[in-house]
Structure formats: structure tokens, C-alpha cells
Chain A
Amino acid sequence: MSYLEYQVRYVPSGLRKLLYLNWPLIILLTAVACAGFLMLYSVAGGSASQWMEPQAKRFAMGLGLMVLIAMFPIWFWRNMAGLAYIVSLVLLVAVEFLGETRMGAQRWIDLGFMRLQPSELMKIGMVMMLAAYYDWLPLKKVSHPFWVLVPVVFIMLPVMLVLAQPDLGTSILLVVGGAAVMFLAGVHWAYFATVIAAGVGAVVAVLESRGTTWQILKDYQYRRIDTFLDPSNDPLGAGYHITQAKIALGSGGWTGRGFMQGTQSRLNFLPEKHTDFIFTTLAEEFGFVGAFALLVLYGLIILFCVISALSNKDRFASLLTLGVAMTFFLYFAVNMSMVMGLAPVVGVPLPLVSYGGSAMLVLMIGFGLVQSAHVHKPR
């Protein structure tokens, strides 16, 4: 597949590529990351060295990685899609055997300098794979049942492995992210309608079966559902985290309690306050204004990705950009829903804000691909 596939009138080369980067996107990403640094400084009780500095270093590395990836032409990455997917898959299998168990789930491979979460890597690998698949697939075959089954296998293979870890949150993100790419590629809506209807039916069946002779789940699993639906049922048990998170959020009010003044986080009532629950600290200390501003920043990132994707005539580039944007969207939407009590606690970080290497790295790789697509779009 050559350069000439595209009707390229002009593609920047060398360092000129830097000028063609999607700079607003970079600024937005940096703004979100800086909000993250601020919050990490705050939850560490005013210590920069504990979480903020490593996070800043990683973000700087991530930015570098993003630009580096952007320097490579997008068709190079398309050619790498299969490899990326297979490598991610192999790592997922490896994590089953070599992985370190942490918090009851096998998710990590220790690379020495960082701990890699293959399931995170797979989010990008799968988006690349699907985008490349639909780039290759003639448009009229897209909704053919066989050609629908193939990407479903691409999705379900890693999902099964992630579920085995077990990591429900990432599984959901993979399924929804993959399905979104399929939807964007134009797979007939009836497939999705059927799957959604079946899903709703299954949930209804599970709930209705409770207490009957054909009860589907175990009692304790129902109790978990109860706790999710009403955390105050079990305020010191499983509901504790979510109750405390809601208290922190709610007590922020309009403008919050002020930087470093959030009592919920400072006094350790919040769980995982520097990782999955960092949004609660932000909402507590900066209030509705701060929380909503972050939401707007996230929205703008999505918006710039969508604009870039829609102005790009290359099918792979468009699907990849939208897929990455969708993955990014799922991160913060699930995380925020979770801490605000709209979704069960599944362990999804707040992108670019939560402390952690893998998610940051993977997202920056993803945005590197988006930048590459942007720089090398057919003009």
C-alpha cells in the first residue's frame, strides 16, 4: 500500500510536520494533565514528590512519544495495526502466567522501569486493528454477517482474556469501544439493536429471577447490585467508598472548599484518592465550577478529534481517530459516572488526571496516532 493510494496533493515532511500537529488538541491535553498535577499535589497533602512529579515526568515522556508517533506517516501505523493487535494479545496471554496479582486481579507485567497493563495497550491495539480491518474491507461487505463476525472475534478474544483477570471495567470499555468503531464503520444498526435488546433482556431476566427457583446469580452478587443501586444500604461495607465519594463531591458546592481544603480527601475518607477517585477531590476542592470545567475540557478534546476525523478523507485515519476519541470518552464517562454513583465501581481511571503510568502511556500513544492522522491527512 503506497503513498499514492491517497490523492495527496501535499504532505508535510521533516520538521515541518511539527507545524501541522493538531496544536489545540495538544494544549487541551496539557491543560487536563496540569489539572491532574494540581490534584495530585493536593491529595498528597502538599507534597510534589509523592505523585505529582512522577506523573509530570510521565506526561512529558508521553508528549514526546506522541510527537514521535505523529512523525511516522499514518499508513505506516496502518501497516502496524495487525502487529500491534497481536503483540497486545500475546501480552494479555502472558499476563495470565507472568502477571503480578494486585488487588485480586492479574493485570500487570513488570517491565522494570514501569508496570505495563496489557489490557490498556489492547484498547489502542484493538482500535487500530478494527480501523485497519474496515479500511481493508470493501464497503458493501461491511454488514454481511460473516464480515461482521470477524471483528466480533477480534473484540471478544481480548475481552475474554481481560474478563479472566478479572477486570470488568476494561472489558466493558473494550466491548463498547470496539462496537463503536464497528458502528462508525457503517455496520447495519439492526445488529446493534439486537445486541442491545438482548442485553436489556438479560438484565431484566437476572433481576426478575431473584428469589425464584431459576435464580441466575448468586445471592451475594445480588447484594452487590443492591449496594450499587443504593450505597446507603451498606454504608460501612461495599457502599462505603461510593458514599464517601458522593459526600466529597456534593460538599464541594458551587466553587468548592478551596485548593487543599477538601476535608474528605485530606482526612482519607476517600478511597483510591490519587487514582480512580481523584475526580471527587477535584469536585470537592473546586466545586461545580471546577468539575464542569474539566468536563468541558474533555468534551473539547473529543470535539477536536471528531473535527480532525471528519475532515480526514482516509477511512483508516477517520476510524482510528474516532475510535481513540471514543476510548478516551469511555474512560472519563465511566469514571465520572462511577464516582458520582451513576455506575458501579469498576476501576477505570480518570484519563490524564489519575495517577498511573499505563493508562497515560496508552492514551498518549493513542493521541500520537490521532496526531499522525492529522499531520498526514490527504490535502
Chain B
Amino acid sequence: MRKPQKETEQSNRTITRRAMLVGTAQLALMGALGYRMQSMQIDQADEFRLLADENRINIRLIPPARGLIFDAKGVPLAENEQNYRIVMVREDAGDVEEVLGRLRQLVAIPDDVLADAIEELNRRSPFVPVTIMERVSWDDVAKVTVNAPALPGITAEVGLSRHYPLGADLAHVVGYVGPVSDFDLSRIDDQDPLLQIPRFQIGKTGVENKLERTLRGSAGTRRIEVNALGRVMRELDRQEGVPGADIQLTIDAELQTYVEARLEGESAAAIVMDLETGDLRALASAPSFDPNKFVRGISVADWTGLTEDPYRPLAAKTIQGVYPPGSTFKMITALAAIEDGVIDPEETVYCPGYMDVSDVRFHCWRRGGHGNINLHESLKQSCDVYYYDICQRVGIDKIADMARRFGIGVEHDVPLSAVATGLAPDKEWKRRVRGEDWRVGDTVNASIGQGYVLASPLQLAVMTARLATGRSVSPRLIHTINGVEQPTGAGEPMGLNENYLRRIRQSMYDVCNHSRGTAYRSRIVAEEARMAGKTGTSQVRRITPEERARGVTSNADLPWERRDHALWVNYAPFENPRFAVSVIVEHGGGGSAAAAPIGRDVTLQALYGGEPPLSAYPSNVRSRIAEQQERIRNRIAPGSDAASQA
């Protein structure tokens, strides 16, 4: 059956015509494809090339080595210690369970640590190294390395971690580092990408915290090529970061260690400050804590122990603690009055043992009274009534003003956490904060450093330094940063009457060296080391009439937390002053008994640059001091005597 010729021709014509149409459409579509190629590959090539590079190139940070912290003599206070960790790459391990099982036969891994590690192993991509255990010993590293063939995917790596060689002795000053937390990130305005590194260590307290940016340095970067899964294919280039700056503190570690040891057993603080430069040579708060525990991650038991201790080991009492300064404030009241001219230094006030001010009876510490007493005697014997009198003449605003000139109620610029401002109260303050008018009784209380007056041990040390020099010395904690000397705290002359200052200093000298001085028992007999000081006792709570009726008359009868705070300030040597010292013993009782001996010992230690000769002490206390010195020696370096003898 042959198709008609005519139909075939017609069919061919149709097909040809239609094929041309289809062909044209196909050509048009291919043209569109070609045009699209052209526009993407030529017109937008740069844009897409950039996107491709962004795709494949990751920037990884190289954490810089944290700056070290030294004391004034170069003793390391915070250093970076190498530590070893065991790391596992899941995809190299094959059977993860079995390899971990073998690892556990070699290295003791706590169950919880292992559980965390397994969880992280399962969460991360198989090629990401996951830390199984940190801070393993060198022995364990050796075991892992020797058994490497049986432990596929497991390697020992070395890293840096912070270590504080002096431990608790400088915990409050140096502080400690810890892994950056979400809380830290929300609190600090810091765009540094280093903070995004998981478990990156940043300063949490103290100098570590306040000089974080200086110590941290800046991150280096590593440009790496990654594939779509994030696996590192190769390193393209690297730029080293800048390590953190080393910091030298003004602290004398040896003195600091001594002071911490001397304060042991008390809830106390003591400061040694260089009068010339304001350098803080010792800034001791007791009890203290081991900052290394925080770096490793403190256990709940340890943490509870620290927070529930009534002696508050975590508080840096030197700068954070504020106390009524008690009689150590009398110099301020006296200076305010004599500078103002309301009383002549030789003028006497009669002390019957009390003073009635608007129907309230204010007692002198000596119930029998001091009789007629002038400025010199009032300081030496710490008469209270004298100050009850003169404070009413000069008024609280001038006293508060004088207090602020001496650094009380003023925030000192030291790079430590939560530096307390204290309080030099005045009329305006009470109206503003309490909404009440100032009363005369408030002035009377303030005149002897009670009532609203609050000062930190640091402020008392600064006050003493300014009294001793007549210059507005301010504290300095940072000696050098990366070898660059920081400005000293030697201040300008305060413009006070030098004659009056000399009278105050003489009185303070007699406090220690006159037989009727309140700190005569804590005197120094070495001529070149004689000190001038002032005792203070600040009431935590009045003894109530009911208690008095029950026979409670002295501190010793009260529970610890209601006993008076013992305070002490001094500078030495008297003739050529070098150091200002302040001491507070929380609930220690009387300043002369509890705080002055500490001040004396610390002063001598600072002046002699080590253990002072017994000849510096009065002969009647030398045997007791000798025992004490030996005890402290043993506490600082246990067994060192035996070692030196052998």
C-alpha cells in the first residue's frame, strides 16, 4: 500500500514548515540560555566570584597568649601554664565506644566527664576534634601516646591555661579568669570576636577583670578553605595576633604573703602603701581563696564553703569593705576644726566622761573622763568628748569636706572590682538620701567616725598617707604595662597649714610612743623605724540596756558578729615617712589590742624588707614575737628551716 505521492509531498511541506517554527523556537530558547550564561558569567562574574570566595574561605581566630602579671620585683603572679588534654576525632576512631573503652583502661576518666564528651562527640560533625578530658597528667599523655596504635582518633594536645603560683595570697588583687559566659556577653559591650570562642577565658575579678583588654591581646587570624560541611581543607594564610601585655603590679609579693599569713585566722584586711608614689605594696584581705580552683571550674562543695563562710573569703575587704572608721577619723575632725579656726590647738575642752547633746548623752570611751584636754592629748588618748565639742563648732559640712580631701567618701582609681566609695556624710547627703534633716547628734557621731561615716581600709591608708605627706597621694596598683611605667600617685600639696599637720603627726607619734598613748604597747623601739598611728574601734551595735543588765559589758561577752571592729592606721618611719599602713580586724574588739599589733608587724616587715630584728620590738614582747615569727615562717614556707639546716 503505497502512499499517494501527493500526500507525501504535502506531508513533507507541513513538516518542513512546522519544523522551521519549532527550530526557530528552539534557537530562541538557546539564545536565551546563551544570554543568561553571558549575563551571569561575564556581567556578574565579580559578584559571584566574591560569593564563591565567601563560601569557601573561613576565618578562624588564633587566641593570643594572655599577658602575664608580675609583682614589683618580677615574681610571677599570674602565668600561662601548659596543660594537656585528650582529644578525639570521631571519624578517625571507627568504633567510638570501643576506643573510649580502651582509653578508660589507660586513663581514669570520671563518668560525668565521659558522658559530656560522648554527648559532644555525637553533636559535632565527625571530623571536629572534641576534648574528652582536660588537664591530664604527663603520665597519662605518655600512656596515650605510646598506645596510639590501639587508640585511633585519639591524640593528646597541649594548651595554655592560667595559673596563679601564689594562689590565695593574691586572689583578691590579681583575681581569676574563667570561661566567658552568656551573662558576661550580655553585660559587657565588647565586639572582640575572641569572646565568641567557646570556653574562651576572660578575667572575672580583680586586675584580670579590670585590665582584661590589656591582658587579652588581639586575635590572630587564619584564613582556611572549608568545604560545604565545614571541614578544613587547607590553610590559605595566617596572621599572628598580638599577645596580651604583661603587667607589673606595685605589690610586693613577699610582703603580701607575709601580711596574708599575719592576718590568718581573722576576718581582716591590711594595706601597705608607699607614701611617695602611692604604690600599694600589700593589699591583703583574709581569709582568702584559691583562684586556681575557679580556673579549673570550682566544685559546688568548695563554692558553698566559700559563700557560706561568715568571714566572707570572696570579699576583698581592703577595697570593698566599708566600716565606720571610729577614732581613726578624729584626725579629720581635728584638722577641719583647727583649719577653720574654731579652736586653737592648745585650747582645752573639759571631758567629764560624757556630753549631753539635745537630751542624748554621748559617752567618752573612758567613763571617768579625761578632764581638761587639748588637741594633742585628745588624739593621744583618743578622748571622745573633745571631738563632740569641736565638731559642733565647725559643723558637719566642713568635716565632710575635709574627709573628702583626705580621700574618704571618694572613689579611688584602682583597677579592682567593686571599689567602695565609702561615705563622708553631710547635710545635703542626708536630705537627698534619707529625706531627713541633719541633726546635731549625727555630727557628734560622725566626729568620732561613727554613725554615717564609712571608709574602706584603702581610704584609711590614703588618708594616713596624705596626713604624713601633706600631699594628695593617690593609690597606684599598676607599676608597668608592657614595660611602660604608669603615672605615679604622688599628688599635689594639699595646701593645709603645715604647722597644724605637724601637730597632728606629733600626736599620732605619741599614740605609739608615749606611755599614755593608746598604742604604746604596740610601739616600735628601733629609732629608725618609729611609727605614728591611731587606733580606732568602731561599734557594730550598741550594747543594749537589757544586755548591760545581764552583765554584758565588754566585747568578749558578745557573739563574734556583734563585736566591735578593730582599726589601725599608721605611717613609718616618723622622721622620714615611707609607708602608710591601715588595718581592720572585723569584730576584733579594740583597735589597740587587735589591730595595732598587726599594723606594727606589717610596718616592720615593710621597712626591713623582710623579717625584722627582734631588737625593733620592746624587750617585754620579744619572746612572743619570736614565736609568732617562727609560726609565720612555717606557714609561708613549711619545713624550710629544716631544709636549710640540712
Contact = CB atoms under 8 A, between A and B. Distances in A.
Interface residues on B, range: 35 or more
B41 interface: yes
The list of the 6 closest CB pairs from A to B, nearest first, reads A250-B48, A267-B227, A251-B52, A186-B14, A253-B45, A288-B41
Interface in A1-41: 1, 4-5, 7
A72 interface: no
Given A268-B229, A318-B15, A340-B37, A251 B22 contact: no
B47 interface: yes
Nearest to A183: B18
Given A288-B37, A291-B37, A340-B40, A329 B26 contact: yes
A250 B10 contact: no
A264 interface: yes
B192 to A, nearest CB: 27
Contact of B26 (A302, A309, A315): A302
B225 interface: yes
A333 B29 contact: yes
Contacts of A336: 33
A217 to B, nearest CB: 27
A291 B30 CA distance: 12
A184 B19 CA distance: 6
Contacts, number: 143
Contacts of B34: 292, 295
Interface in A281-318: 283, 287-288, 291-292, 295, 298-299, 302, 306, 309-310, 313, 315, 318
B87 interface: no
Interface stretch (B1-9, B125-133, B367-375, B413-421): B1-9
Contacts of A361: none
Residue among B12, B47, B233 facing the most chain A CB atoms (10 A cut-off): B12
Interface stretch (A54-62, A74-82, A117-125, A241-249): A241-249
A246 B48 contact: yes
27 contacts: A1-B1, A5-B2, A139-B10, A183-B22, A184-B15, A247-B55, A249-B40, A249-B41, A251-B52, A254-B45, A263-B52, A264-B55, A267-B56, A267-B233, A268-B229, A288-B37, A291-B37, A291-B41, A292-B37, A292-B38, A295-B30, A295-B37, A315-B12, A326-B26, A333-B30, A337-B33, A340-B40
Interface of A: 1, 4-5, 7, 138-139, 180, 183-186, 244, 246-254, 263-264, 266-269, 283, 287-288, 291-292, 295, 298-299, 302, 306, 309-310, 313, 315, 318-319, 322, 326, 329, 333, 336-337, 340, 342
B15 A319 contact: yes
A309 B19 contact: yes
Given A269-B55, A288-B38, A310-B15, 9 more contacts: A5-B2, A183-B21, A184-B15, A264-B52, A268-B228, A268-B229, A288-B37, A299-B27, A313-B12
B5 to A, nearest CB: 8
Interface in B32-73: 32-34, 36-38, 40-42, 44-45, 47-49, 51-53, 55-56
Contacts of A310: 15-16, 19
B15 A246 contact: no
B19 A269 contact: no
Contacts of B40: 246, 249-250, 340
Contacts of A268: 227-229
A162 B246 CA distance: 73
B450 to A, nearest CB: 68
Contacts of B26: 302, 326, 329, 333
A120 B34 CA distance: 27
A288 B14 contact: no
Main secondary structure of the interface of B (DSSP, over half): helix
Contacts of A292: 34, 37-38
B49 A253 contact: yes
A306 to B, nearest CB: 6
A269 B226 CA distance: 10
Contact of B36 (A4, A244, A298, A340): A340
A37 B233 CA distance: 25
A7 B42 CA distance: 53
B23 interface: yes
A333 B15 contact: no
A180 B22 contact: yes
Given A5-B1, A139-B14, A322-B15, A342 B36 contact: yes
B82 interface: no
Name the residue among A138, A185, A291 with the largest chain B CB count within 10 angstroms.
A291
Nearest to B41: A288
A17 B285 CA distance: 106
B228 A306 contact: no
Contacts of B497: none
A45 to B, nearest CB: 11
B634 interface: no
Nearest to A263: B56
Contacts of A287: 41
A1 B44 CA distance: 58
B235 to A, nearest CB: 14
A263 B51 CA distance: 11
Nearest to A138: B7
Contact of A253 (B23, B36, B41, B226): B41
B11 interface: yes
Contacts of A185: 14-15, 18
Nearest to A284: B52
A247 B37 CA distance: 12
Given A251-B49, A267-B228, A318-B15, A4 B41 contact: no
Interface in B235-257: none
A295 B10 contact: no
B48 A249 contact: yes
A318 B36 contact: no
Nearest to B8: A313
A279 B48 CA distance: 16
B15 A283 contact: no
A247 B51 contact: yes
A4 B3 CA distance: 10
Nearest to A299: B30
A370 B612 CA distance: 112
